[in-house]
Amino acid sequence: MIAEQLAGKRIAITGGTGFVGTALIERMLRSVPDCELVLLVRPGKRTSVEERVRREILKNNAFDRLRGMARITGGETFDEMCARRIVVIAGDVSSDGLGLREADRATLASCDIVIHSAAAVAFDSPLDTAVEINLLGPTRIATTLRDLGVAPHLVAVSTCYVAGNRRGNAPEQLVSAGPFDIGLDWRTEVRAARRLRSDAEAASRQPAQLGAFRHDARRELGAAGAPALAAKTESLRMSWVRDQLVRAGRARAASVGWPDAYAFTKALGEQALTDTKGNIPVSIVRPSIIESALAEPSPGWIRGFRMAEPVIISYARGLLSQFPGNPEGTIDVIPVDLVVSAIIAVAAVGPEDAPPITHVASGSTNPLHYRLLIDKVREWFTAHPIYDAEGQPIVLPEFQFPGRGRVEGQLRRAKTMITRAEGVLQQLPLRGKQATWAAKLEERKSDVERALEYVELYGLYTECEAVYQVDNLLALRNQLSPQDRATFNLDPRSVDWPTYITDIHLPSIAQHARVKTTPGKTRTDRSARLRRAILDPSRHVAAFDLENTLIASNVVESYSWLATRRLNGPERVRYVARTMAEAPRMLSLDRKDRGDFLRYFYRRYENAPVDQIDEDAAELFSRVILTKSFPAGIRRVREHRALGHRTVLITGALDFAVAGLAPLFDEIVAAKMTVNPDGTYTGELSQVPPTGETRAEILADYCAAEGFRLEECVAYADSTSDLPLLEAVGFPVAVNPETRLAALARKRGWLVEQWSKAPGGPRPLLPVGPMLGERERRRTFTGGARR
């Protein structure tokens, strides 16, 4: 009996936060009641290993059955049982010696069995990451155990795909035996992967490459300010390095006959473990593609999306109508609970009776054909369609089975066309609802990129024609008692694929994908939820930009109104013509750096009489600021005040232009000019203009002085130049966003508000003030407009 064989055993498990690891821990706790578990978990950046286990493992719904059993029996609670049977130690399989503390080394040394399931399972892992975890991880486990002077049974979880891109039978034998061995030296591959990381890092820091990153950052963020651009540039550099290592992994794996870096490094990991295990008894368990549970801990249980789910959901959403593969070929899928049962059975029978290699696969005894899978998917989603945002059922396209190269080519061409269209839209002065065109285009681009990624990552697996033999698995099953065969089902022949697909797997992934499965428009408006969060009384501060956020005006219009009201007709025409001619230059400067633009533009106020400007500012406020304000925006400011939130206006407009807004705000931070001894403005700013990252610093300083938290603050703005401010707060709101910000807000899930002026207001064709009489025009400032 498995439970009796493992009773009193101390079993160490790595990879407990993963899909297989979580299911393994749950089954051990429920079906092997007298064993103790030692979980080796990597510490988080800000989270202890105990907290990670509590949040990432034990809170998972896999343990609902155990919690229910504890409530029914009325004895020991679930938490009490976990405290008694689980020991957590901090360690990292990507570090030599596992990074263990002395006390944790002793805990590991006391274990009877070690189950190593930790892995970099992503098919697109960077080569060096896959090498450190998949290749060297098992070796580090064995080496550490040997250094501790112990020899527990080591059960290492690998993958069937160590067989590589082969056709026909793939027997349960060591990688270094027979046709698996092509003479690769795993130590050489480790050194090469580490050198590739160094080379990629060095290449990413070349001046030309850094210039390209900087250019791309500015293209995406516009005039977001130096810190935001620097952070984006570094993010692009790191992504570039990662992409180089991902491509290197794919290229190296393909060159020696594996589908990707995951399978390649897993195969080399088996070689390395065989070479370094010493006296450690080792058993290797190789699953094929692991999918949702057949029965344990509950039918359809799954953690995260596996290989098939993204492709299936994309097809159901109408985003993918073709995928490479052979319709008559086999998709070797195995439910996770059968894999867990096999691992436990191998651990229970011990190294003397367990086979050295055990495949857990279905293709040789109970094959699932690609055509059947697609037909069942189409049948199920036709009966249970996904609905679009308008509540209409998505009609599934007829699925095609073209070659991988053809699909990749089509998707790459689509991506290129969308990227070009996106670039054109970003150059246009679109705002508000028109800017959502760019956001939707960005979304479509993401869909195409995702589909291309699926084809690149999974295409080789759907075209794989290897048949994984399971002789050792079935022999292991024959060793089990009838009761263990029922409790620990590991037989792939027990899966009825049509039933599993339609009654278990597809309902589960539809639920986990959170797609809309009911007709009619979505009742719960996401924007309404975000507004409720923003207008929660617990918020602290609401910070507002002014131009295009609260009013449909700008500093150029305010200046033009002040400078032209004392000009005669011909002078006004010349001023307007000159301003229109300068518009492209001013727009370019504004896009590059808002602060530099304001300094340049405010020079026009040189020698303007302060008393005259103050006199005209009151009329400017009533005729321009108020008439061009957004009623919805003003209401929002008042709503925040009514809730007890502090309201702050942070604007690059000049202080005299916005003085009339003082009753709405607790604090107004605006641009200010210095004054000459003769009472005229110098045209120079007295301090750094409140734009870009300066706005974030202003709000941070305000919150620090008043005892508020930025994560409880709200910020409203319209441009990517305000990105530092929006990113600084817990509740960003994009108002009438320009193209770049519209795309970013949609991608990040921010609230987007479309506010407009009140209908019926004056709409002058040109931004000029009302003409005064001859007497007033002679004694006033015209800002050089008569030149």
> 425 vs 371, which has greater pLDDT?
371
Q: Tokens at residue 748, please?
A: 């990040």
Residue type, 759: P
pLDDT interval class at 421 (50, 70, 90)? low
- What pLDDT score does 177 carry? 44
Residue holding tokens 């026909």?
168
**What mean pLDDT is predicted for residues 617-642?**
90
Beta partners for 715? 543, 732
- Going by pLDDT thresholds of 50, 70 and 90, the confidence category of residue 178 is very low
Q: In whole angstroms, give the CA distance from residue 150 to residue 386.
A: 55
CA nearest 304: which of 23, 82, 14, 12?
23
Indicate left, alpha or beta for 368 from its phi (over 0: left) and psi (-120 to 50: alpha).
Answer: beta
Structure tokens belonging to residue 512: 């986990």
- CA–CA separation, 161 vs 269, rounded Å? 13
As a whole-number percent, the residues of the chain with pLDDT over 90 amount to: 50
CA pair distance 70, 85, nearest whole angstrom: 14
**Helices and strands, counts by H and E, the chain:** 32, 19
Between CA 103 and CA 116 the distance in angstroms is: 20
pLDDT of residue 367: 93
- Whole-number pLDDT of residue 779: 47
pLDDT tens digits along 245-292: 999 998 999 888 888 899 999 999 999 999 999 999 999 999 998 999
Alpha helices in 148-225 (DSSP H): 186-204, 207-221
> In this predicted model, what pLDDT tens digit does every residue of 124-172 receive, in sequence order?
789 999 999 999 999 999 999 999 999 999 999 999 989 888 788 888 8
pLDDT at residue number 513: 74
- Mean pLDDT within 73-77: 72
Question: Is residue 35 classed as helix, strand or coil in its secondary structure?
Answer: coil
pLDDT band at residue 581, thresholds of 50, 70 and 90?
confident
Q: Grade residue 778 by pLDDT with cuts at 50, 70 and 90.
A: very low
